[in-house]
Amino acid sequence: GNQFQIKVSTDGMAMRLLFALPGFHRFDRGAEVALLAVAEHCARAGDAVTVMGSGQARPGTPYAFRHVPAVDRKRFERMPTMPLLRGDTAYEEASFAPGLALRFRPGDFDATVTCSYPFTNWVLRRPRLGGRRPAHVFVTQNGDWPAIAGTSEYRWFGCDGLVCTNPDFLERNKDRWNCTLIPNGTDLGRFVPGPQERARLGLPTDRPIVLMVSALIESKRVADGIRAVAGVPDAHLVVAGDGALRDEVEALAATLLPGRFTRLTVAPADMPALYRSADAFLHLSLLESFGNVFVEAMACGLPVIGHDTPRLRWIVGDDEPLVDTQSLPAVSRAIEAALAARGTSASGDDADRVAARHRRAERFGWDRVGAAYRSFLQGLVR
């Protein structure tokens, strides 16, 4: 259960693929980054790939992009929660679905891919008169709850192939759905160890930096990160992200970390430099589906402090300082230990650990992950 298999096709079969997600080309969040990397891999391998999202076309992409309007989820942060509309992401998706339905022509594609439920999944699986609808692949980027819930609107979930991003999802879905285990990946040509660039990024140069890369929502527990770093003298917390809790997060940091807190957003091109400019990576979500950020931090050589679960151990290995993060004193101690170890580079020990982390990240390179996706899609199309 600790590996995923790649069955590489040798018949040169080309496919017509559609990737659809409201945030494509508008945001560079984890799901968007992951699925666009797969789309790019398939396009470069010879498939005719179309991407539909609410952003605008970007120069140099190997796939065709079609704009579908959607309302930014920030507009819905204060809207009531109810069935079908269970948060700002669902409202955003609901605003995307009508335009997608108008632009989606099932006969143009052999397979469709999304990680968005319910509305995008329903549009891509709509019945087609006079022909077969394309095979539909659902990716568990944001959890496998649509596939397992079986209640409320989840009763109408369906797919022809389910991509499970971790072994837990595979184990509990394999008897019901046509499943495969494929984790997320990272660009190993960009996310590599290297020199810090704190001055360019406007970060302090005179103290250790703990980095969180996270949406500012309850499940990411950024407020607990502030409380934990407050117990580590001289450590400076950098949070890269935005979300509905931004005001609460900044108010708490002003109280507990005066002069020791920075919140920012950086362009995707600067994310490797941001990781390299930190001394430790902190992520307190109790159960991520996968978490691209873990692999990105690991590929840049950072120690990863997170909640100790078999799922996260499957990603980062047994040598990282994972703890029961519901104990904030334990998190503070883990941060202190990681920062102390990070300071041993003069002995060569830290350089060895940095290199080992990058080697572990190599199994999550996009070439390998993209090949696994393409092989699975080819099998469905056949």
Euclidean distance between CA atoms 59 and 81, whole angstroms: 38
Predicted local distance difference test score (pLDDT) of residue 129: 80
Residues of the chain with CATH 3.40.50.2000: 16-185+365-381, 198-363
Euclidean distance between CA atoms 45 and 39, whole angstroms: 10
Written as six digits, the tokens of 51 are: 């991407």
- With contact defined as beta carbons under 8 Å apart, do 279 and 252 qualify? no
Span 123-135, average pLDDT: 89
Span 117-144, average pLDDT: 93
What length does the chain have? 382
Predicted local distance difference test score (pLDDT) of residue 65: 98
pLDDT tens digits along 181-236: 999 999 999 999 999 999 999 999 999 999 999 999 999 999 999 999 999 999 99
According to the CATH classification, is domain 16-185+365-381 in 3.40.50.2000?
yes
Written as six digits, the tokens of 25 are: 């080309």
Q: What angle in degrees, to the nearest 10, is found between the helix axes of 222-230 and 328-342?
A: 70
- With contact defined as beta carbons under 8 Å apart, do 41 and 374 qualify? yes
Euclidean distance between CA atoms 340 and 37, whole angstroms: 36
pLDDT tens digits along 24-34: 999 888 899 99
Question: Which CATH topology does 198-363 take?
Answer: Rossmann fold (3.40.50)
- Which is more confidently placed, 4 or 289? 289
Predicted local distance difference test score (pLDDT) of residue 345: 44
pLDDT tens digits along 329-375: 999 999 999 999 876 443 345 788 899 999 999 999 999 999 999 99
- Work out the percent of the chain whose per-residue pLDDT is above 90: 82
pLDDT tens digits along 269-323: 999 999 999 999 999 999 888 888 999 999 999 999 999 999 999 999 998 999 9
Euclidean distance between CA atoms 199 and 279, whole angstroms: 15
Written as six digits, the tokens of 297 are: 């931090």
How open is the CA angle 219-141-163, to the nearest 5 degrees?
Answer: 145
Q: What is the pTM of this model?
A: 0.85
- Work out the percent of the chain whose per-residue pLDDT is above 70: 95
Pick the closest to residue 22 from 52, 58, 61 (CA basis): 52
Q: To which residue do tokens 């199309």 refer?
A: 381
Strand ordering across the sheet containing 135-139: 64-67, 48-53, 16-20, 111-114, 135-139, 161-164, 179-181
